[in-house]
Amino acid sequence: MTTELPMPGLRDVPTTEEPQTRKDFGSDQEVRWCPGCGDYAVLAAVQGFLPDLGLKKENIVFVSGIGCAARFPYYLDTFGLHSIHGRAPAIATGLAVTRPDLSVWVVTGDGDALSIGGNHLIHALRRNLNITILLFNNRIYGLTKGQYSPTSEAGKVTKSTPMGSVDTPFNPISLALGAEATFVARTIDSNRKHLTGVLRAAAAHRGAALVEIYQNCPIFNDGAFEAFKDRDTADAALIPLTHGQPVTFGADGEYAVVRDHASGAFFAVETAEVDEARIHVHDAHGHDSSAAFSLSRLTDAGHLHRAPIGIFRQIERPTYDDQARTQISAAREKSGDGDLDALLNSGDTWNVA
Amino acid sequence: MTKQVRQLDRVIIRFAGDSGDGMQLTGDRFTQETATLGNDLSTLPNFPAEIRAPAGTLPGVSSFQVHFADHDILTPGDAPNVLVAMNPAALKANLGDLPKGSTIIVDTHDFTNRNLTRAGYNGSNPLEDDTLDAYDVHQVDLTTLTVESVKEFGLSRKDASRAKNMFALGLLSWLYGRPTEPTISFLERKFASAPDIRDANITAFNTGWNFGETTETFAVSYEVKPAPMPAGTYRNITGNVALAYGLIAASVQSRLPLFLGSYPITPASDVLHELSKHKRFGVVTFQAEDEIAGVGAALGASFGGGLGVTTTSGPGIALKSETVGLAVMLELPLLICDIQRGGPSTGLPTKTEQADLLQAMFGRNSEAPLPVIAPRSPADCFDTAVEAARIAITYRTPVMLLSDGYLANGSEPWLIPDIAELPAIEADFATEPNHETADGEREFWPYLRDPETLARPWAVPGTPGLEHRIGGLEKADGHGNISYDPTNHDLMVRTRQAKVDRVADIIGPTDVDDPSGDARILVVGWGSTYGPIGAAVRQVRAAGTPVAQAHLRHLNPFPADLGDVLRRYERVLVPEMNLGQLAMLLRAKYLVDVVGYNRVRGLPFQSSELADAIADLVSSLDQPDHDPWQQELRR
Ligand code: SF4
């Protein structure tokens, strides 16, 4: 299956007619995550989905920072850059601005993106660089062996917080919306179909796409997303968002999301108890992000029992890199290509015979 | 009335006023007039870190010194012959630098009780008491004369008095026979959209000129003939503009698009400003969210096959160091330009210093060597930028370029190079697999090195068949996969060092200036101290003592013959605007007992103090008990 066109995010990336398979995207490196790590599922989904895009694989670059997830580029047979802690969005910026012919991906984690690299993340989002950011959120520091992270619930007991953390966690979706992101989505490692669908939409988006992926770390934070994986609770815990559709959830849609008009906040009710007209219809394309923000607040801040997944926001806005390149071509069109000799001889000059 | 014209071989003028008085512009215009006339020149702007410190106070004084001559000169001059003081604070702040007998032109308008007190002249007026008895003082109410002259344009008094700097410029232009045409056309351009301001400034400028010509305040005017200079086309250039042009030239010569990732910081921001004007050359300037993102984005551009550059000052280097270490590990070309300023910490943002040498050399975790080079004068920033790019691209390495605040803002005439003479720089991207496996399969190994340079192949995304992964983790020699093997790590650490050492193969021997061959003392410097050291060496030679000079552009690696050069002399003197950083490197590497001369005042050296230091060392040569280190400590 190839993805439906158009995919404006990949507009300038060369494609190939040669059929590709997931094997083409596997590197010769042995994958070294812990057994049962959620990262395996994401890697499999990405390897399985990249052939759909039909891009020349030499025109795909994965850039990562530091953390368990940051090993991701080593396992893909594309160009890859495993950089330093938190800086992947900055490095991807230089690459995306200078190379419109590349599909640039950033792989990061909750510590990498939201703690040490928080500044780069928010600025990449507001600038709307044409990159796709996969934020693996396991709500813990894995590689450094189990300290609490900026998405850990308050009170989290870890090696560095024996009496419980006293930090309020970030909600990555709320943060991204506050940072003026044009594409914000959430998915989960255990739902391959949903994950692939979100990845496809993110790749298609022209601009910065932030995809939060709930990813289980069985070693240091096992069960953080249990409510979404347990068959008995999953349907009532995950609130799927689909553009243009009323927001309902539960095995038979028995729950619905409605807005409290006084506060503007959303809350869940039993579908049977409300007038159908009151059920919120999701609009991911609206330029005002207030509703998307309010939806993001339906996520628990403590132990997760409920969270919306899907695309919260997907709007068009000119990208930084396109505009930077447009300025260059406009300058060249107006006054011609730069002439070094003329530049050096500009200004007040004088001759000595 | 025909006035007498007296010939001078050189003059040093300092314009001083409040930060709001436009002294930098005045100095700059006077410099341009002087350049067009064909004098050799050198300038030293000196301004406070605050944009507008309280008016009329000593911290708010801004000045611009220009030295021009009918012969080749090297520095902005130790002490001014002429001070133009626009208010009491400007007089007070600069009088101490003025030798007795110098000329002072002072705007008397602000010498009121209130302003005198504000400038720290408590209860006395230096224009009335004996403070200025030893000087040739011209008291002129510049402000009133200016306001009178521009009456017809109907400006507010405040706006009218703003043109007083142009009145002063007109007066000085008359006094030194400078051409007026360049300034008039400059004002026409600058104020094209505000005709009344334009006309007021031009009128004030012309009135200032006529004031000199017609009044009796000035009986004599002066002439400084053009300096004999090599034939060619010249322009006046500051270090930051020369650096920006050098980067563009490197991009043109290497055919690599220039990408600047930078965060605003004094005194480096003008490089960002300048480069952002030159989009026609395909230059991308990215004003990042912080210093770290600036260098990160530049490194990303280099990974993509661009010429990645970041510009900053010392505090920014501290923030960038982890990414620079990554560039050392990735072995990608990257230029890091440090326009040094006084430190540590925020230090003296607008003042000069050269105390980042050891930071450039060693300011990263572990063994992370990189080439370090430094320009010697404002115009030399051009050549140094091209040279830095040549090294970075040839050896696939980050290169640190150390300019400083004095070079950045100072200016000198520049013989514009013939672009056909610029070095060719070959990026030489990898296009093919470079290794064959045992079973005959062709592979790409990103760390398989060129045997001569030890540079690794630069394979950019988009090259089919060369997909590979690199990162900050240690990699195995050759194929570049992650490796924790102890022997391999030792080999890679040594190889990264060896590669940087091999840069010495392309930089040529030490350039030693020892005309008589009889010198017993060698003076070694680096960076912006070239001018004062060169002027001091000339003074010492003129007094009959031979002395040798070597000025190092390459600080890592050093030229291959440097150890031999140092050992040829009885003593080696190393003047630095730090506490002995180059001296430490020379002592460590060559076991030569060099002597430092160190001052860290935020200002360039004076050539006279260096001449004294050289003379002291010379006279100590035949005193066996003399210990120059002890003497230096006692100073
Ligand atoms: S520590 Fe956790 S996140 Fe890291 S690889 Fe192991 S299971 Fe995965």
ipTM attached to this prediction = 0.97
Provide the whole-model pTM: 0.94
Contact (CB<8Å) B280/A331: yes
What is the C-alpha separation between B370 and B391, in angstroms, rounded?
10
Give SS3 for B441: coil
Mean pLDDT of chain A: 95
With tokens 């104020």, the residue in question is B191
The one-letter code for the residue type at A18 is E
Distance A67 CA to ligand 1 centre (A): 9
**For residue B524, what are its two tokens?**
């070694």
What is the C-alpha separation between B329 and B367, in angstroms, rounded?
10
| Residue B159: exposure state from Cβ atoms within 10 A (0-12, 13-18, ≥19) | middle
pLDDT (0 to 100) of residue B626: 61
- Go through B82-108 and write b for each residue having 16 or more CB atoms within 10 A of its CB, e for each that does not: bbbbbbbbbbbbbbebbeeebbbbbbb
CB-based contact B463:B434 (threshold 8 Å): no
The residue of chain A nearest to residue B379, with distances taken between CA atoms, is A344
pLDDT (0 to 100) of residue B630: 58
CB-based contact B396:B447 (threshold 8 Å): no
pLDDT category at B627 given cuts 50, 70, 90 is low
Backbone angles phi, psi at B25, to 5 degrees: -65, -45
Each residue of B303-319: pLDDT tens digit?
999 999 999 999 999 99
CB-based contact A47:A26 (threshold 8 Å): yes
For residue B503, give the H/E element and its range.
Answer: none
For residue A143, give the H/E element and its range.
Answer: none
CA dihedral A119, A124, A127, A133 (to 10 degrees): -150
Percentage, residues of chain B above pLDDT 90: 93
CB-based contact B161:B146 (threshold 8 Å): yes
Atom of ligand 1 nearest to the CA of A145: 1
pLDDT (0 to 100) of residue A2: 39
Does B86 contact chain A (CB < 8 Å)? no
Whether residue B2 has pLDDT greater than 90: no
Does B245 contact chain A (CB < 8 Å)? yes
Nearest Cα neighbor of A282 from A251, A317, A319, A241 is: A241
pLDDT (0 to 100) of residue B551: 98
pLDDT (mean) for A288-301: 95
Nearest Cα neighbor of B337 from B254, B277, B263 is: B263
**For residue B627, what are its two tokens?**
């210990």
Contact (CB<8Å) B289/A337: no
Question: How many beta-carbon contacts under 8 Å exist across A and B?
Answer: 207
pLDDT (0 to 100) of residue B19: 87
In angstroms, how far is the first alpha carbon of chain B from the final one? Answer: 54
pLDDT (0 to 100) of residue B53: 78
Whether residue B348 has pLDDT greater than 90: yes
pLDDT (0 to 100) of residue B1: 52
| Protein residues whose CB sits closer than 6 Å to any atom of ligand 1 | A 33-34, 37, 39, 68, 138, 142, 217-220
Higher pLDDT, B634 or B35: B35
pLDDT (0 to 100) of residue A348: 85
Contact (CB<8Å) B416/A102: no
Angle of helix B164-175 versus helix B181-190 axis, rounded to 10: 160
Give SS3 for A336: coil
What is the C-alpha separation between B534 and B547, in angstroms, rounded?
11
pLDDT category at B219 given cuts 50, 70, 90 is confident
